[in-house]
Structure 1
Amino acid sequence: MDRLRFGTFLAPFHPAGQNPTLALQRDLELIEHLDRCGYDEAWIGEHHSAGTELIASPEIFIAAAAERTRRIKLGTGVTSISYHNPLWVAERMVLLDHLTRGRTMLGCGPGSLPTDSMMLGLTPTDTRELLEVDLDIIMRLLRGETVTERTRTHELVDAKLHLRPYTEPCFDVAVAGVASPTGPRMAGSHGVGLLSIGATLSKDGFDALAHHWNVVEERAAHHGQQVSRQDWRLVGLMHIAETREQAYKDVEYGIESWFHYFQKTAAFPQMAAEGGDLREMIDFINEAGVGAIGTVEDARAQVQRLWDQSGGFGCMLLLGHEWANPEATKRSWELIAQHVMPHFQGGARSHAQQTLDAKERARDKREDYAAAQMQAVATMTERYEQEKTGQQ
């Protein structure tokens, strides 16, 4: 790996009943914090029901976050394109690309909450079928084509973007994948990136990681597209503290409500841990291979496991959550930036290893250098005494 990128996938997850205004402000503050810490990417979700994943328009959130940050790239994670006119999806993203001077990314998916699609009279099957149709239209528009097309939900007549993307030739586009080959198949067919979300949030998904990229490459070859593992992003789970005991204590704050959301509200059975007490939830994260609650050593080991299982990828996205209070959450991100990211950046000799090697060289030569330093002090002292004698 030359430089593994790091970022967040921010749904977000806020327990129902809290002040939503303050919760959204915490999300913006987190993006600012990640920008200062040197994270590369932040992907923002779109949801419209269930009272927990509160951001209805990732594009509006990105516009606000872009004004508060300098370097971090900001993506829709994901735009539920089955809910939208594909022309307007493309138009909004091109506008964001200009406003952010090339820091925007488009993530596409069918929508994860059935309670969202039900309000539009769509079933989960409908949204997945529309995803494939709408993604094709969006990609054609972004290439500058004029599109006339009728879908189940929209009609386009001689549709054409009136702005081209700021990014040449286009900003990053990625398709979400959970456990099935649907997302990888579309990513390969269009030559775009893959966001493996559920692939790292369940044991079955973890086991299927290598197969996901095989599907991407097979479909890309079939359609004459070029794909790169640099455009493959894996979403994982972590909370890190100085000790495992502290990490376990930290997550007492909110991990149970997070699990209950998946077990009882969101239709995402992959996260239904057996049992229901706090320690069983922690053990599920650590032992099923889906994440790490512990120390920086545990975090590094988890990233390495994902790398080895997948065969290599471009970006490690950590799922944004509030398992811990805001202070402990920010500290976890800081520890990962300080002690985990450098081990996976810098090529064959990581940034972390380079500093360790420099420390070892200095340690090996310390006695010689210390003696030389003392000799230098003695020499300059003697020279000064000689100067004083000569002046007298």
Structure 2
Amino acid sequence: MRLGYFAMPMHPKGREWAETLREDREAVVLADRLGFHDAFIGEHLTDRHENITNSLIFLATLVPETDQIKLATGTTNLSHQHPALVAVHSAMFDHLSGGRLILGVSPGALPSDAEVLGILGEDRNQLFGEAVDIILRMWELDPPYDIDLPGNRFTVTTATTYDDELGVGIVGRPLQQPRPEIVGTVVAPFSKGVVAMGARDFHPLSANFLQPQWVATHWPNYVQGKESVGAPVASADWRIARTVFVAEDAAVAERYGRADANSPYRFYYGKMLAKMRALGRLALFKHDKDEPDDAVTLDRVLDDLVIAGTPDSVAEQVLAFREQTGDFGELVYAGLDWVDPDLARQSMELMATKVMPQVNAAIRSNGSAVPSGAGA
């Protein structure tokens, strides 16, 4: 099982923007040094707490600071810009990074982002699907381009201005061929979008704030999509994010990971709980869809969704989680605000050097293949 990193990220009000950007960059540099396979960075335009506005720009600053880690948008919100821009900027980034781009994509879920762009009333899922079709076609075709797909609002052409001698009307392709890996974040139980991911050979990343039983619904749908096009299925393609804190001392793990009022884990899930309640998506945190809303308390969410403890305990919890979901290829460690930088760094180090070797040794002992990557 590989080890990855994902940060939305979420910082408390009052912290300097430049300071949190430095901290978020430091976390990815540390992940690279520790052998994490990839680092996914989220983006929002209008969120005080999740304050990276463009994940590709942020990741570009990390190209010279990292050596081997894959740099992943987590995600590029495709309703926010013309798909031609996504295609050309992502292709350039792939070359800048030496082929380390993973393109994470989503429609863009935050209503205030949609409002600031004037698309609050638009079907952002439809925009997403149309944008994906354009990006893939631009990476596949030779110039001049004349892409006018039925029902797609985006028409992309250079037919009038193309001049091969002058070198204009030509879009650069990514370094990775036929294209970089494309990953979609999955945030809904029984997501039908995962079926489409399987059919198009996109890879799913199940969100860290989903209950294990909802995470487990994603894989059968992915398999359905793969089988619909006669493609082979590999559990290595499935990433699952979890919120993890590892400490040498169990009491410290419980305090920093859940109980303390200043715990970044408590802050994160307090905000996520409020957001999902406002968006009418509280069911993500429920044990059963028929549970009353008042059953979903912050303390219960923390107990359900934070894996915290010593390295031995966390390894046991990860393996128990895997029993609930079935086999998957990558555990994606959710990065939070560094309330205590020493504890935050130590948790990542213990995860890479102590937890994952135990997890993979246990998987090997049961006869399962272990995908290459950190901790393997």
Please indicate, yes or no, whether the TM-score normalized by the shorter chain is above 0.5: yes
Q: Which runs of 5+ in 1 are unaligned?
A: 351-392
Whose helix proportion is higher, 1 or 2? Answer: 1
User: Could you tell me how far apart the structure 2 residues matched to 1:79 and 1:147 are?
Assistant: 24
User: Could you tell me how far apart the structure 1 residues matched to 2:28 and 2:331 are?
Assistant: 16
User: Could you tell me how far apart the structure 2 residues matched to 1:149 and 1:291 are?
Assistant: 47
**How much is the aligned-residue C-alpha RMSD, in angstroms?**
2.7
Q: Offset at 1:301?
A: 2.3
User: Could you tell me how far apart the structure 2 residues matched to 1:177 and 1:125 are?
Assistant: 21
Q: Would the alpha carbon gap of residues 309 and 29 (structure 1) be closer, same or farther in structure 2, given more than 3 Å must change?
A: same
* Residue 179 of structure 2: aligned partner: 170
* Residue 192 of structure 1: aligned partner: 202
* Residue 373 of structure 2: aligned partner: none
Q: Is contact 1:237-1:291 (8 Å) kept?
A: yes
Letter in 1 for 2:352: A
Q: Is contact 1:110-1:127 (8 Å) kept?
A: yes
Deviations 1:19-66 (A, max 9, x none): 110000000111111111111110011101120111111111111111
Identify the match of residue 253 of structure 2 among 226, 247, 255: 247
Letter in 1 for 2:56: E
Q: Would the alpha carbon gap of residues 341 and 79 (structure 1) be closer, same or farther in structure 2, given more than 3 Å must change?
A: same
User: Could you tell me how far apart the structure 2 residues matched to 1:271 and 1:124 are?
Assistant: 27
Q: Would the alpha carbon gap of residues 126 and 298 (structure 1) be closer, same or farther in structure 2, given more than 3 Å must change?
A: farther
Q: Is contact 2:41-2:72 (8 Å) kept?
A: yes
**Structure 1-normalised TM-score?**
0.78
Which protein, 1 or 2, shows the higher relative CO under an 8 Å CA cutoff with sep ≥ 6?
2
Deviations 1:331-382 (A, max 9, x none): 11111111111124477259xxxxxxxxxxxxxxxxxxxxxxxxxxxxxxxx
Q: Is contact 2:32-2:67 (8 Å) kept?
A: yes
User: Could you tell me how far apart the structure 2 residues matched to 1:124 and 1:243 are?
Assistant: 50
Q: Would the alpha carbon gap of residues 124 and 191 (structure 1) be closer, same or farther in structure 2, given more than 3 Å must change?
A: farther
* Residue 47 of structure 1: aligned partner: 44
- Give runs of aligned pairs for residues 263-302 of structure 1, distance below 5 A: 263-265=273-275, 267=279, 269=282, 270=284, 281=298, 284-286=301-303, 288=304, 290-302=305-317
Tell me the matched-pair count: 338
User: Could you tell me how far apart the structure 1 residues matched to 2:152 and 2:179 are?
Assistant: 27
Q: Is contact 2:4-2:37 (8 Å) kept?
A: yes
Identify the match of residue 30 of structure 1 among 24, 27, 34: 27
Task: Say whether 1:157 aligns with 2:157.
Answer: yes
User: Could you tell me how far apart the structure 2 residues matched to 1:307 and 1:322 are?
Assistant: 26
Aligned-pair identity (%): 28
* Residue 163 of structure 2: aligned partner: none
SS in 1 for 2:174: coil
- Give runs of aligned pairs for residues 340-359 of structure 1, distance below 5 A: 340-345=355-360, 348=364
Q: Would the alpha carbon gap of residues 263 and 59 (structure 1) be closer, same or farther in structure 2, given more than 3 Å must change?
A: same
* Residue 357 of structure 1: aligned partner: none
